[in-house]
Amino acid sequence: IGIDLGTTNSCVSVMDGKTPKVLENAEGARTTPSVVAFTSDGERLVGTPAKRQAVINSANTLHATKRLIGRRYDEPEVQKDMKNVSYKIVRASNGDAWVEAQNKMYSPSQIGAFVLIKMKETAESYLGTTVKNAVVTVPAYFNDSQRQATKDAGQISGLNVLRVINEPTAAALAYGLDKTDDKIIAVFDLGGGTFDISVLEIQKGVFEVKSTSGDTFLGGEDFDNVLLQYIVNEFKREQGVDVNKDPMALQRVREAAEKAKIELSSAIQTDINLPYLTMDNTGPKHLSLKLTRSKLEQLVEHLIKRTIDPCEKAIKDAEVKTSEIKEVLLVGGMTRMPKVQETVQKLFGRVPSKSVNPDEAVAMGAAIQGGVLAGDVTDVLLLDVTPLSLGIETLGGVFTKLINRNTTIPTKKSQVFSTAADGQTQVEIKVHQGEREMAADNKLLGQFSLIGIPPAPRGIPQVEVTFDIDANGIVNVSARDKGTGKEQQIVIQSSGGLSKDEIENMIRKAEENAENDKKKRDMVEVVNQAESIVYDTESKIDEFKSQLPAEECEKLKQLIQTVRDRLANKDNETSESIKKATNELQQSSLKLFEMAYKKVIYDFKL
């Protein structure tokens, strides 16, 4: 299966012969909100049911946690996010950003896993079989830690993630699967939390990414937050009440802001009405506000402008002229906004194409890549790139690049370094990812030491450092002393990230939860069945009472009471005990009603 694990919504697709098919979830929708909630009685809700109860449980309803995946608590983006979400973001013991709900801490990978489980169940109910293998998408501009954390989410959910592919590349696959002409295209992907721009060349089934750029902290969530603050400020100006301190009111405004933003993509003006939003000592306060499309555009102009720089960078890195780009695909819900489309048109000098579904193309592309890996789709080859340069810290804190951004992956590169001091017997290797000149300004992915170098004057020992990026964009690094042949290697596990034990523990918890969820579901089904049989039996007793012996009716009523008692005490009963009582009632009533029915027919014939 192919899964688009999105910031705001997720989507799952599967190959149906040679074409990808997007699947509907249990609620009948083709996309699922990436929202996870924990209720006070310990229940975990995912998707629409979680989103629906957010107003009354905002502190324990986790949304847009993809923006935290693979990030450190101290990162400026995380600090900024803390001001905008209704739940608590906390520092994990390893310094990563985690979230808290109902006094329990969860890693963003775990929350992602709960959404993936829902997508997996959606696919399983359609296919009628268990699903093990998946291709999961990530923003093209995700760094190594974010990719690794997404893979961890897959593992926790019980999926074997065969490949992590970039969202714009997946959308291009969905677009180009049935196209025969060769061309250069751009994919402009502005989703709920992230922005990517990729330039690709499609030639006879080969999809070659020429360049990619983006911003992993720019998307619909930011548009909602800007509008939310505007509405809150307007309400304060008119009514003198600040709802920033009222979580329930704030959640209502957040939902109204998102709805208004969506409406203004097709309407010129919308009304925001929230009766009884809050109260003060003069009584209830109602919010009523007219919002025009031009006002919204004015509020979010600075956000739309942030897409321009990455686009220009991607065009420059791809070494193509704008006129050579024959089609610009729009992906992600935010590209429905007319002002965004207008900006794209100005940038690329052509009307953007709407030939792919902005919500579904990414999942469809993931399913196609799944088909390629399974050997079912044979005429497609995907050549992607690494979005950020990779290198190590060298003398003076300088960042020395070994692999430049936009290098086709998988790739491998080695370089020989030496010691900086006489008699140095070990070398500390710090691996960074980014574009800045100084190592400290880039993302530290991890570090390790090569020890046991024979003492020698500086500059004499030869240490060969090799970088290896696999097709998922995940990095392996090794260092070897050419003199002794000693080697040390690491799969980059950033100083944060989840350890093997933590992941196994989370997998175990997810499995236990699945068992508990199944028990709860079984109980609901058993209770529903019991109530329905009690109701049927009582109405049949009424209908046939003239044909039934009084003592038999009495016996049935006692059995009904037994079922009722067990239902009243269902929290302390097992589903088996309720089922047993229901079956006894059903068996007795069937015999009796059969007898009554025969008697009615017999009387009728007479």
> Angle at CA 354, nearest 5°, toward 349 and 355?
120
Q: Are residues 210 and 286 in the same domain?
A: no
Q: Are residues 211 and 237 part of one domain?
A: no
pLDDT recorded at residue 502: 85
Question: Which two tokens mark 419?
Answer: 């010691």
Which of 321, 473, 450, 463 has the alpha carbon at shortest distance from 389?
A: 473
β-sheet with 104-106: strand ranges across: 88-91, 97-101, 104-106
Residue 522 or residue 199, greater confidence: 199
The residue behind tokens 């959308």 is 171
pLDDT band at residue 180, thresholds of 50, 70 and 90? Answer: confident
Judge whether 36 and 114 are in contact, CB under 8 Å: yes
313 and 420, same structural domain?
A: no
Which stretches of 168-313 are assigned E, i.e. beta strand? 183-190, 195-203, 206-215, 269-280, 283-292
Where does a domain end: 452, 477, 497?
A: 497
Is the CA virtual torsion 372, 129, 4, 150 positive or negative? negative
Average pLDDT value for residue range 362-385: 95
| Crossing angle of the two packed helices 308-318 and 338-348, in degrees rounded to 10 | 30
List the structure tokens of 362: 């990414």
Judge if 442 and 581 occupy the same domain. no
Q: To 10 degrees, the CA torsion angle through 364, 369, 370, 372? A: 130
Contact present, 433 and 141 (Cβ < 8 Å): no
Same domain, 173 and 267: no
Bridge partners (DSSP) of residue 290 are: 271
Average pLDDT over residues 267-276: 97
Residues 333, 362, single domain; the answer is yes
What CATH number corresponds to the domain at position 271? 3.90.640.10
DSSP string, 360-412: THHHHHHHHHHHHHHTS--S-EEEEE-SS-EEEEEGGGEEEEEE-TT-EESEE
Residue 490 has pLDDT above 70, yes or no: no
Q: Are residues 11 and 101 in the same domain?
A: yes
Indicate if 518 and 431 belong to the same structural domain: no
**Reported confidence tier of residue 601, pLDDT bands at 50, 70, 90:** confident
More confident residue, 528 or 198: 198
Q: What CATH number is attached to the domain comprising 489?
A: 2.60.34.10
CATH number of residue 376's parent domain:
3.30.420.40
Q: Given this model, what pLDDT does residue 298 score? A: 98
Q: Which two tokens stand for residue 100?
A: 């808290």
Q: Nearest-5° angle of CA 334, CA 310, CA 446?
A: 105
Q: Are residues 343 and 439 located together in one domain of the fold?
A: no
Indicate the burial class of 77 (C-beta count within 10 angstroms; 0-12, 13-18, 19 or more).
middle
Task: State phi, psi for 276 to the nearest 5 degrees.
Answer: 50, 45
The DSSP call for residue 220 is H
pLDDT at 99: 98
Among 163, 169, 114, 113, smallest CA distance to 141 is for: 169
**What pLDDT is attached to residue 55?**
96
Of 2, 9, 3, 7, give the one whose Cα is nearest residue 359: 9
Domain residues for the domain of 452 are 390-497
- What local confidence, expressed as pLDDT, does residue 3 receive? 99
Helix axes 500-544, 550-568, angle to 10 degrees: 160
Contact of 70 with 83, CB cutoff 8 Å: no
What number of other Cβ atoms are within 10 A of residue 36's Cβ?
27
Is the pLDDT at 393 greater than 60? The verdict is yes
Q: How far apart are CA 306 and CA 334, in angstroms?
A: 14
Note the pLDDT of residue 505: 87
On the question of pLDDT at 321 being above 80, the answer is yes
Beta bridge partners of 329: 187, 353
Q: Is-contact 46 118, C-beta < 8 A?
A: yes
Tens of pLDDT, residues 10-28: 999 999 998 999 999 999 9
Fill in the DSSP letter of residue 420. S
Gap between the Cα atoms of 251 and 64, Å rounded: 14
Report the CATH number at residue 575.
1.20.1270.10
Q: What percent of the chain shows pLDDT beyond 90?
A: 76
Q: Supply the residues annotated as catalytic.
A: 4, 66, 167, 189
If asked whether residues 135 and 21 sit together in one domain, one would say yes
Between residues 500 and 134, which one has the greater pLDDT?
134
Mean pLDDT, rounded, of the chain: 93
Model confidence at 450, in pLDDT bands (50, 70, 90)? confident
| Ranges of H-type helices in 485-574 | 500-544, 550-568
Whole-number pLDDT of residue 496? 62
What span, in angstroms and rounded, lies between the C-alpha atoms of 376 and 101? 42
Q: 10 burial class (0-12, 13-18, 19+ CB within 10 angstroms)?
A: buried
Confidence at 493, pLDDT banded by 50, 70, 90: low
Taking the C-alpha atoms of residue 315 and residue 197, their distance in angstroms, rounded to an integer, is 9
Spatial separation of the C-alpha atoms in residues 259 and 261, rounded to whole Å: 5
pLDDT of 124 higher than 70: yes
Domain boundary among 302, 321, 344: 302
Instruction: Please check whether residue 194 is in contact with residue 215, taking contact to mean a CB–CB distance below 8 angstroms.
Output: yes
Kindly list the distances between the CA atom of residue 572 and the CA atoms of 518, 523, 562, 577, in Å, as whole numbers in the listed order. Answer: 17, 12, 15, 10
Asked whether residue 335 falls in the same domain as residue 456, the answer is no
pLDDT at 495: 52
70 φ/ψ angles, rounded to the nearest 5 degrees:
70, 20
- Identify the pLDDT of residue 118: 97
Q: Are residues 53 and 188 in the same domain?
A: yes
Query: Domain total for the chain?
Result: 4
Beta strands 390-394 and 398-403 are: antiparallel
| Helices 575-605/500-544 angle, 10° precision | 30
Q: Binning pLDDT at 50, 70 and 90, where does residue 606 land?
A: low
Contact 69, 50 (CB under 8 A): no
Distance of CA 474 to the CA centre of its chain: 19
Gap between the Cα atoms of 98 and 82, Å rounded = 11
What pLDDT is recorded for position 200? 97
Structure-model confidence comparison of residues 606 and 212, the more confident one: 212
User: Distance between CA 67 and CA 218 in Å, rounded?
Assistant: 9
Task: Name which of 44-53, 62-71, 82-91, 535-544 the model is least confident about.
Answer: 535-544
- Residue where one domain finishes, among candidates 270, 302, 334: 302
The number of angstroms, rounded, from the C-alpha of 195 to the middle of its chain's C-alpha atoms is: 15
| The length of the chain, given as a count of residues | 606
